Amino acid sequence: MIRRLQKAFGVTEAGAQGIIKASVWSVFSNIAYILPVFLIMFFLQGWVEGRVQSMGVYLAGIAALAVVMYVLIYVNYNTLYTATFKECKAIRIDIANRLKALPLAYFSKHDISDLSQAVMADVAAIEHALSHAIPQTIGLVIYLAVIAVMMFIGHPALALCVFVPIVLSFILLILSKRIQVRETTRDFHKQRERAEFFQEAIELQQEIKSYGRTEATAAKLNRNVDEAEKLHLIVEAHQAFPLNTALVLLKFSIGITVFFGLRMYLAGTAPLLYFIGYIIAAARVVDAVAGIEANLAEMMYLDSRVKRINELRESETQEGAPVSLQHYGIEFKNVEFSYNDGQKVLDGVSFTAGQNQVTALVGPSGCGKTTVLRLASRLYDYNAGQILIDGQDIATISTDSLFDKISIVFQDVALFNTSIMENIRIGNKGASDEEVKEAARLANCTEFIESLPESWNTQVGENGSRLSGGERQRLSIARAFLKNAPIIILDEISASLDVENEMKIQESLNKLIKDKTVIIISHRLKSIEKADKIIVMNAGKIDAEGRHEELLQKSSLYRSMIEKSAATEKWEY
């Protein structure tokens, strides 16, 4: 039962238990709503039979029922909404933990807007369903079952008058479910497409404006919105027609009960008390069924959103056990890897990056250099072979244990929209302000930071938009200094820098990599000539490896790259 609720509504185990509790209270609340009908029936029966002696008894009954109903509503409300808000918090935390454990490959296959929609819009839809549709529907169904049994025991013919239209309306909704789910799924995917397009248009404003694509983008955006609006109207029509038809059928329940009930009363087969009581009961039952049918429509719309959350939760995560590493050399053994298309990016790659040594990767564009760095830091998981640190396969090491020993400085720096101080502190969240400032000094950041209007408290903007490329790069190096990990991974970090920033960053790097295991990619071959080992890659394989002088003798590819690098230094514009 618990697992079925988890799967059906995308909730945690505690959330499924909360649904059950809220449904039980919903049953009690709905039964309390029908009790005044029975009180009226008892009063009418006493009045017809001449047994009404004091109105005080009935007034006391009404007062007692009012208190019971208030208590039930209060408890139901608190149980329902408190559990709902706690559950939605738990779902979002669960999704966040799941995202943290997913490999980078997952994010390359899924649009960021899609993931943000799952965290925000999908959970919001589940929140509304948990606080309204789901427990109310379950409670109302159980309540209707109890009432139906009582009414059929009391007077089967009158009960048939009440429930035949109700059954027909349910049949109509069930028959239309497939169409409704299909159309709501289409609408869901269109909303996803629209969100992705909006995000792309916002993120690429610089390119859109610089290439004169503003009008074309706006036209495409308008078409997208128009298509989404038309589809949404179609979906609403597919939902509205069966639901409204079902609601019309429900209204016949009261009319049929009055019509046939009156004939039964006049024929003497139904006492007046039952005739009046069943009319009142029919009105209550119709309201309950209308609530169920409206909630069912919402739950059908929820189907696609629950599927997206369940798919995210069921995605394969990076597993591993926490370990204590003592030696930090990195060994690749026959490693193979491919991205989404299945074409091998790395094919049988084997090499060793020695402890406390600098290992440089060089080769033509697209040969697999950056992929090697991603695999070494376990941002992606390899398809075959092994990558060993301290003799242990990194696929068996927890990402927390592994990342604790690795600092990564990539060309594309990611900064958070907070202060410079807190951006550096990401390298070590327990560091003091003095330790942060010392890391910044080692990374040659102090001068530019203290020249800013708010100095260390300056807000950097979204992804460091208020800083230059060189300043952002130096902050990322400061993070690495603060983390002080024994393994350093550097990827083309000076590729797009001016001479002044490159010189300062090179000075910082020389201090950063001292006595560390370093794997580096640099397009400036002059900067890696003194590396302890240079690995030449070509088409996903190792072409040659050795020191600079050795490779000049034995690798024609390396020699060609050095010659071309020297030639570019003589270019003039």
In DSSP notation, 174-194 reads HHHHHHHHHHHHHHHHHHHHH
Contact 17, 2 (CB under 8 A): yes
CA distance 359 to 517: 8
| Beta strand residue intervals within 59-126, DSSP E | none
Cα torsion angle, 249, 252, 257, 259, sign: negative
CA dist 385 → 71, 350, 394 (Å): 65, 9, 11
User: For residue 494, what pLDDT is reported?
Assistant: 58
Give the helix/strand (H/E) hosting 437: helix 433-442
Decide: helix, strand or coil at residue 487.
strand
pLDDT given at position 7: 61
Antiparallel, parallel or unpaired: β 358-362 and 517-521 = parallel
> In the chain, which residues fall in CATH 3.40.50.300?
330-405+524-573
Amino acid at 562: I
Q: Which residues have CB under 8 Å from 417's CB, separation 6+?
A: 459, 460, 461, 462, 463
Q: Give Cα 356 to chain centroid, integer Å.
A: 40
Specify the residue for token string 């309201």.
287
Q: What is the pTM of this model?
A: 0.62
Predicted confidence at residue 88, as pLDDT, reads 79
Contacts of 521 (CB under 8 A, 6+ apart): 360, 361, 362, 369, 370, 373, 490, 491, 492
Burial of 250 (0-12, 13-18, 19+ CB in 10 A): buried
The DSSP code for 455 is G
Token reading at 185: 């799924």
Q: Is the domain 330-405+524-573 a CATH 3.10.20.440 member?
A: no
Domain 2-313 is found in CATH 1.20.1560.10: yes
497 and 470 Cβ atoms separated by less than 8 Å: yes
Residues of the chain with pLDDT under 70: 1-18, 34, 37-38, 40-58, 105, 108, 110-111, 113-114, 203, 300-301, 340-342, 463-464, 493-507, 511, 566-573
Pairing of strands 533-538, 517-521: unpaired
Check residue 569 and give its pLDDT: 60
Q: State the pLDDT at residue 568.
A: 64
Residue range(s) of every CATH 1.20.1560.10 domain in the chain? 2-313
